Structure 1
């Protein structure tokens, strides 16, 4: 069964241009993304054609400078675009967020020459990116990564394994964090690696409970050689670049979570108003009405939280704590709302005939990626209370 077209959400956008942009995104979502989402996810089909379409429509580089192929959009608008895409299909919304995350290091820390050479293709040239930080033995403890880059003349030679890489095996470029110095955060450097670099090989995609259309795979770097002009920032600056990237990336995950939750709520309301029991729609029963009210409240609260953090970012103000809060709250809300949506549909919610069971499976990963929600609580607590005393 195909997914229901996303129901328009009432939004307060800053400009007429941004309103037109959201109208374009909704049209693409309704015509191109939602109709085949259920079938393609069940088949594990990666929709590369959709990312090509989004690139051609100027939607893969929205928060970046137009001088380099971006869309000059504030994060407040970009995140609402992600929400609309994720409501149609999480694989697409999350994929755009990951691509933006992979582009952030070069856009924020690259030299003018690097940006002029690479960003136009990355942001508007049909390319798709991957972000390579996690490893088999370093997930939450990212500073302990072992992938190493060794200087060899004017080149660097990268050896190691990255894991849980979204777009692993299909990405055209990778932002890679590798160790160039001693153990710890200060010995890490960022590199821009072509997806077809000799020595770079993807393992078989992971078999996952959800988001089957989005390939997640280990990437093996077997003596991958990159020129020094593909080093992003200074040697040893990589971990700071990674943290800055993740602050923005967490807002992308929060927006995707709200979009997924909104899709689940729309499906639950449509079912509740159409399903008859005891001679009337089940939407008439107070227990279900309260459940729907709670679901909608969590979604509105999450949307307000991620937009407030985005406005801080757009104003050039610190937003790290608010980004962690948004990621934490919105993804927990998505897990709760999608679970409740299954309950609203009862036995039908547990079948493949309706998409809510898929939404529930997909919501779980959002509590894990780009920093587990336990890590978000640590980030928030440290900013409120300072480092632990030990």
Structure 2
């Protein structure tokens, strides 16, 4: 199925439903996209890319379309579910609780959150988390807190990464599927002015008792599964950053050609044109990286590295684009929901899913692979 065919019936139907709603809530958006077939199309044949657990070109098409019509927070709500939580659940056995929950989410009947960032540790240091699981007979007992969780206040279930043993070995962590209505779960909205529609908050677990079927996959493979899924989240981040940068450049170019200073269009100023051209160069580089990430390349870098490259490039390109465009827009950028508001929210592209500094370390570790340096002795 060509991507234009995918975008035409399913996505256009969903966008029409979303646009008909004056202020669609994130849960409503998810349901509209699911019932229109957009969500299932991300994972169904023809051949989802095995590197990412979904079809990256369809994800790019969907994120671009949603970014054009929805606030950043609402698109973020969709992105976390589609690119991270659902691929994790879909890896589970079809007849397991996780597998059944995945089907319910794809159908739009329920919504999901991914709870990894821990109250007891810095966001990038997951192995220092304090949230833990203890075995009591046939039951699992979950205690701890997760913070800055997207969809915390709107989800039905959370995928919770928790410690099952002391220490930082990767086998000491498990993933649990936690109903947010379970006794002992408390949801606390985040005190923030940003990310309307993302349902950001904290999840507190006070001796939450769950049966063993709430484990997602092997008890010792929680962190490994999360590490695989984070590559898809980073891919989505880069694809979305490219869509957002392109949209802002288009809006700014329209403004510059319309606005007149001393009788001439602002666009006719050579300094303005050169600054804008530099942003176009950056965005087209990012677009080329997106296309490469969406097309399997024999002998290319592993998915973890390809995703890190794309996410880091996306964050840096978007930061420069929003900073310069906000300056070029002048006073209009300070309006309610103007470009300075978006700049603040878009800072998450350099933080969530791994900070840009963390990604640079990962990229540097694979410098020889990326440079295709051969061993002279081979």
TM-score range, shorter chain: 0.7 to 0.9
Shift of 1:292: 2.0
Q: Is the 8 A contact 1:147 1:179 kept in 2?
A: yes
Residues 1:52 and 1:87: Cα distance change in structure 2 (over 3 Å): same
Shift of 1:65: 4.0
Write the distance in 2 (CA, Å) between the matches of 1:240 and 1:330: 25
Of residues 273, 291, 296, the one that matches 1:307 is 291
- Secondary structure at the counterpart of residue 224 of structure 1: strand
Residues 1:172 and 1:28: Cα distance change in structure 2 (over 3 Å): same
2:59 is the counterpart of 1:74: no
Unaligned runs of 5+ in 1: 1-14, 67-71
Aligned twin of 2:233:
249
Shift of 1:201: 1.1
Aligned twin of 1:6:
none
Aligned twin of 2:173:
188
Write the distance in 1 (CA, Å) between the matches of 2:191 and 2:99: 35
Shift of 1:340: 1.4
Aligned twin of 2:11:
25
Aligned twin of 1:363:
346
Q: Is the 8 A contact 2:314 2:349 kept in 1?
A: no
**RMSD, matched Cα:** 2.7
Aligned twin of 2:126:
142
Write the distance in 2 (CA, Å) between the matches of 1:372 and 1:211: 19
How many pairs align?
Answer: 357
Note the 1:1-390 alignment, pairs <5 A.
Answer: 15-16=1-2, 18-23=3-8, 24-25=10-11, 28-29=14-15, 32=18, 46-65=25-44, 74-89=55-70, 90-100=72-82, 101-108=84-91, 110-114=92-96, 116-138=99-121, 139-184=123-168, 185-208=170-193, 210-312=194-296, 318-352=302-336, 355-384=338-367
Write the distance in 2 (CA, Å) between the matches of 1:225 and 1:350: 48
Higher relative contact order (CA 8 A, sep 6+): 1
Aligned twin of 1:10:
none
Write the distance in 2 (CA, Å) between the matches of 1:194 and 1:321: 34
Write the distance in 2 (CA, Å) between the matches of 1:269 and 1:326: 25
Write the distance in 1 (CA, Å) between the matches of 2:204 and 2:172: 21
Q: Is the 8 A contact 1:79 1:252 kept in 2?
A: yes
Write the distance in 1 (CA, Å) between the matches of 2:129 and 2:28: 34
Q: Is the 8 A contact 2:326 2:340 kept in 1?
A: yes
Residues 1:65 and 1:154: Cα distance change in structure 2 (over 3 Å): farther
Write the distance in 2 (CA, Å) between the matches of 1:197 and 1:113: 22
Aligned twin of 1:69:
none
Q: Is the 8 A contact 2:26 2:77 kept in 1?
A: no
Residues 1:34 and 1:375: Cα distance change in structure 2 (over 3 Å): farther
Q: Is the 8 A contact 2:189 2:199 kept in 1?
A: no
Q: Is the 8 A contact 2:159 2:177 kept in 1?
A: yes
- Secondary structure at the counterpart of residue 352 of structure 2: coil
Write the distance in 1 (CA, Å) between the matches of 2:6 and 2:148: 32
Residues 1:368 and 1:278: Cα distance change in structure 2 (over 3 Å): same
Shift of 1:342: 1.0
Shift of 1:356: 2.0
Write the distance in 1 (CA, Å) between the matches of 2:301 and 2:93: 23
- Secondary structure at the counterpart of residue 304 of structure 1: helix
Aligned twin of 2:49:
none
